[in-house]
Chain A
Amino acid sequence: MASFLNRLFGRARKGSGATAKNRLHFVLQHDRINLPPERMEEMKREILAVIVKYLVVDQERVEIALEQRDRTHSKLVAEIPFAKEKQQIQMEARPETAGTDAQTAESNGAVKSPLAADEEAAPKDESNDSQDAEPVAEVDEASATAPDADAKDNKKN
């Protein structure tokens, strides 16, 4: 009943106001980092071209997107799923961390690429939920150095 009334009296979110909000979100993301959408697409193509030189990934499902909490906290978030049947290649692709038992057990097939970040530094968004069983690599600016730190820890161990 309530939702019917909402619709009847126009309180549900629709109309050009919502369109304006979505368009503004998009345009401001690009304004704020001073990178127009076309250049962003170009960059994505280049990033992907580098990755496929080293890894077999599911190119259809690659997502590289700008994520912004507010003006000063934005990051580039990449979701680069591996192609399903290429387990072997993924294993080879892992850096020094591949040897530790704990990580092998934990990863359970969902192996991180050398580019992968530690989990705390790479907050998940809703889009990850739909494919959390899939192998996924994430990259973001806050954690680009994380693999090095991991490697050092492992050497100490």
Chain B
Amino acid sequence: MAGKVVTISSGKGGVGKTTATANLGISLASLGKKVVVIDADIGLRNLDVIMGLENRIVYDLVDIVEGRSKLRQSMIKHKKFEDLFLIPAAQTRDKMAVSPQDMVKLTDELREEHDFILIDSPAGIERGFRNALEPADEVLIVTNPEVSAVRDADRITGLIEAAEKGPGRLILNRIKPELVKKGEMLSSDDVVDILGLAIIGIIPEDELVLSASNSGVPVTLNTDSKAGMAFNNVARRLIGEDVPFMNLADDAGFFRRLARLFEGW
């Protein structure tokens, strides 16, 4: 088996990289894929809590790289999915403890027995990002419809292309259709136009994402969640399915529907 390494990056912090990684991991596993998610944010580990696996950690990424633990015994199996594993970041070390070459070596080993290796990149453009980028076959760039996040996404896009890992594909997170409609938020078309990237996911703002992180159960597992559905669609696009984008404008209220009535005039 020749698994695929997908790195999730953003440049800016707090836009939803870890949430995206956790949810894509769950979605791919629920589609029957064998998946490993790696937290590459050494010193600021978070993927474990988002996935609800924090109290099962024994070994971490640095332990593996430095030979203190075997790869298999360091991978934490997800509670619900047999074929979903987490490799957590070390919490007490810094990013220099791992090199890009270490990541290539590790992922090459993982490729043999898994379909997807998802790497949650740290924010920033330094060593941690380089570690996450080096083994990537594909890069997903998470951004929000907000000037600082889009600017940083552009910066990271340039670096990804310079490293010949591009072009990345875009996940636009936390979009609010009502605000877009009012002209008070960048639309997905705007962001695509500005960045010149293909888009693989448009994730609506959803309060259930917060509840999900509170409880450590990623939002894709909640069938009521629009964000969860949107992440699920990203996973299906990632495995090559042609999935139409959700019509987020459809819950536009009464006035939008009234406007549509008059549209023929």
A13 cross-chain contacts in B, Cβ below 8 A: 183
Q: Does A50 contact B (CB under 8 A)?
A: no
How many residues on chain A are close to B (CB under 8 Å)? 26
A24 touches B194 (CB 8 A): yes
Closest CB-CB distance, A9 to chain B, in whole Å? 4
A32 cross-chain contacts in B, Cβ below 8 A: 154, 158
Other-chain residue from B146, B183, B194, B259 in contact with A15 (beta carbon distance below 8 A): B183
A24-B147 contact given A13-B183, A32-B158, CB 8 Å threshold: yes
- Give the interface residue-count category, chain B: 20 to 34
B184 touches A2 (CB 8 A): no
Other-chain residue from B146, B155, B193, B256 in contact with A9 (beta carbon distance below 8 A): B256
Q: Does B186 contact A (CB under 8 A)?
A: yes
Bound form: Cα–Cα A32–B151 in Å: 10
Residues of B in contact with A (beta carbons under 8 Å apart): 146-147, 150-151, 154-155, 157-158, 161, 179-187, 190, 193-194, 196, 255-256, 258-259, 262-263, 265
Closest CB-CB distance, A105 to chain B, in whole Å? 42
B181 cross-chain contacts in A, Cβ below 8 A: 10-11
Closest CB-CB distance, A122 to chain B, in whole Å? 22
Q: Does A8 contact B (CB under 8 A)?
A: yes
Closest CB-CB distance, A92 to chain B, in whole Å? 44
Residues of A in contact with B (beta carbons under 8 Å apart): 1-2, 5, 8-18, 20-21, 23-25, 27-28, 31-32, 70-72
Bound form: Cα–Cα A23–B151 in Å: 10
A9 touches B255 (CB 8 A): yes
Closest to A14 in B: B183
Bound form: Cα–Cα A24–B256 in Å: 29
A17 touches B155 (CB 8 A): no
A21 cross-chain contacts in B, Cβ below 8 A: 186, 190, 193-194
A27 cross-chain contacts in B, Cβ below 8 A: 147, 151
A17-B184 contact given A5-B262, A31-B151, A71-B157, CB 8 Å threshold: yes
